[in-house]
Structure 1
């Protein structure tokens, strides 16, 4: 009899898992139907959200409340939907330059408003009441910075509550006494899943509530839901999930919210190859959060082994945008073999609506334990310092011909007022003196690679170009303009 009950239970779990996997698959396939088109870039602003919030305020399915203001007087709004007796609280952009989940929240709200997935939405909204607080730090978002207008990290203000944004977050958490909280962030794109070359596209954490990192029912429930979400992401970004450090931080909101009795799920959006604006990661947030809400509503997460949480690889930070391996570098008459690790740093343009790249070498030497979004084995290649040319590229066969001659800089009297150019060659003001070439940490990576006497590749502002291929078809960001 016991065996029959066990078999039936296992069969039930299998059917339930298959049902939820089918829902997840449909969510992924139909995503474009619900994606909020007005939020198509990372550097979103408070004003872009206002017409969307007003639209939901006018919709009787939703309840919209002003729950606070930022230091500079921007409204903080809570958008709620559902009739269930379990409150679920989701907030985003506590750090102003971490906007991926803010976009996902409005995708989710569009989904909840649509007529499709009627049965699944009925399951969620009859059991749960969902509360969304998008863009907790609108002042920071305005200038695309982590901290608020006071210059503090809101996520380190859970005890002192100096900031109005932190006060609002605490008040809403307490008033809802939410069963689950989703703390939505972005992390560095240079995190990888430990011991792999795969970026930590999504990282999760069930935050600790004390220094001992004890596990009670509140924390274990968060762990189980995270295991479920990880299994979902593996279908679309296999091996690209990390587990954020659970070191206890007594000032942090996530740690304290877990301490106050809410099962806290931290989601960090990291990097994904060829997804500079994080639109694929936004989609993964949408799918995994909606799927998590579904398993919470059905309480099927309770059957997930908590031990599987520890099997998620830890976050590591060993990724470069470009890694050159085993390149020969001549210094003072001797040859040395080096690896180079390059970051393509973003520099905001005026208005903080867009950016350009200003790359630097961040490490050199033996980087065999590191990885790259782009990796080039430069064995047998020698670094060649760049030359300067005064004149028109057309005189040397265009940009490609100019690069093949080892010219990395064009000198001119007339330069654009910008700090960058989309042409894959740097520009300098006539008379500008470049420093003597030398590889060094902190320096801009512009040089050439030569093999058997032929210049075959250029590295211009940290972007690798194959000079045997059409330049227009290669992944190039921008070069720099020096004055």
Structure 2
């Protein structure tokens, strides 16, 4: 199935936008879902907020997804609600999914972290490093859900920073994937190979829309990570990482590509076409690298020849700060010196008269 014909704007959930997505934002939408969806509260967070699942479909192929395990990674949550809207429509795609699959989704696993826009939960624990000990209530909720549902596939939905590029190119890693390892040697079991094939299918689909902007996440093994743990339990698991698209700090474009990737994966599972994709093509997807700054300022010695050497550059990253229920982006100097080989989502060069004048303004004075 090619997805280019889908009118994404018609199914995009307009009530969810921006980076700050919380329990308060999604609950009214969840409560208003039609009867095709089954809404359940499956547990409570450290601060006693409800953790919900939404289940739809009655087919034999079972897919479990969870989003916002890290509270500040909300792009995939928005894409989930776009998927709900697709299912509501009386299309051939939705009817096929409903008849062939049973899909269970946890829209926000870490509602406490989402409220204060942090990676950690309320006990300052990274839930994605708690898969073995399961010391936190949210970790127990996910594992209990997994054990009761007994999925055939797991989608672990995350977001990544603006620093990631694809390979050694100047293209941002707008979407990245990982077939998690199940052992230190990073061997390929049958189930890990299935994860790889699914990623190959999604990569092929996304290359039509964002060529060269799909990366492969590092597969270093860590048994404390949930994806690695579920892969160890012989369930094909895929890590989704929603990254940066040019001039899209609210991740409204990226959510569309995550939606397309999820839908492609579901279609491949639904149609039993996984074996059509060569697992070796997984390794042709370039690695994620960390070669981007939000702002790169070149030849900064022209502004301050005492402080900087000739040819020095500044690498500036934005800090995402929650203010009045909005995310603001505050510039902070990350690195200076010889930054040959790095890229900027915005690049200024002090040898340019226009750039020089702008960089001398109050906007950059405290950074330079």
* Superposed counterparts of 1:23-34, under 5 Å: 24-27=3-6, 30-34=7-11
Distance of 2:210 and 2:361 partners within structure 1? 29
Matched, 1:263 2:242: no
| C-alpha displacement of 1:174 | 1.3
1:371-404 Cα offsets, whole Å, 9 max, x none, are 11112343477xxxxxxxxxxxxxxxxxxxxxx9
What's the TM-score, normalizing by structure 2?
A: 0.94
| C-alpha displacement of 1:335 | 6.4
Name the counterpart of 1:338: 312
1:6-57 Cα offsets, whole Å, 9 max, x none, are xxxxxxxxxxxxxx12xx1023xx111111111112101211111111112x
Structure 1: give runs of 5+ residues left out of the alignment.
1-19, 382-403, 405-447, 450-454, 464-478
Matched, 1:291 2:264: yes
Matched, 1:365 2:337: yes
Contact 1:140-1:147 within 8 A present in 2 as well:
yes
- Aligned-residue CA RMSD (Å): 2.1
Matched, 1:106 2:106: no
Contact 2:61-2:269 within 8 A present in 1 as well:
no
Cα 1:459/1:170, change in 2 over 3 Å: farther
Match of 2:188 among 200, 205, 215: 215
Name the counterpart of 1:60: 35
* Superposed counterparts of 1:7-26, under 5 Å: 20-21=1-2, 24-26=3-5
Q: Counting strand residues as a fraction of each chain, which structure ranks higher?
A: 1
Contact 1:108-1:286 within 8 A present in 2 as well:
yes
Find the residue that maps to 1:285 and give its secondary structure.
helix
| C-alpha displacement of 1:75 | 1.0
Name the counterpart of 1:426: none
| C-alpha displacement of 1:332 | 4.5
Find the residue that maps to 2:162 and give its secondary structure.
coil
Distance of 2:327 and 2:26 partners within structure 1? 21
Contact 2:40-2:54 within 8 A present in 1 as well:
yes
Distance of 2:271 and 2:307 partners within structure 1? 70
Q: Who wins on radius of gyration, i.e. which is larger? A: 1
| C-alpha displacement of 1:216 | 1.0
Matched, 1:461 2:330: no
Contact 1:342-1:462 within 8 A present in 2 as well:
no
Distance of 2:202 and 2:340 partners within structure 1? 32
Contact 1:68-1:77 within 8 A present in 2 as well:
yes
Distance of 2:364 and 2:203 partners within structure 1? 33
Name the counterpart of 1:81: 56
Distance of 1:44 and 1:296 partners within structure 2? 29
Contact 2:171-2:213 within 8 A present in 1 as well:
yes
Cα 1:462/1:316, change in 2 over 3 Å: farther
Matched, 1:374 2:351: no
Contact 2:86-2:94 within 8 A present in 1 as well:
no
Distance of 2:275 and 2:364 partners within structure 1? 48
1:249-277 Cα offsets, whole Å, 9 max, x none, are 11111100111121101000111111111
Distance of 1:304 and 1:332 partners within structure 2? 57
Contact 2:88-2:94 within 8 A present in 1 as well:
no
Find the residue that maps to 2:311 and give its secondary structure.
strand
Cα 1:380/1:92, change in 2 over 3 Å: closer
* Superposed counterparts of 1:425-436, under 5 Å: none
Structure 2: give runs of 5+ residues left out of the alignment.
none
Of 137-146 and 341-350, more deviation after overlay is shown by: 341-350
Find the residue that maps to 1:245 and give its secondary structure.
coil
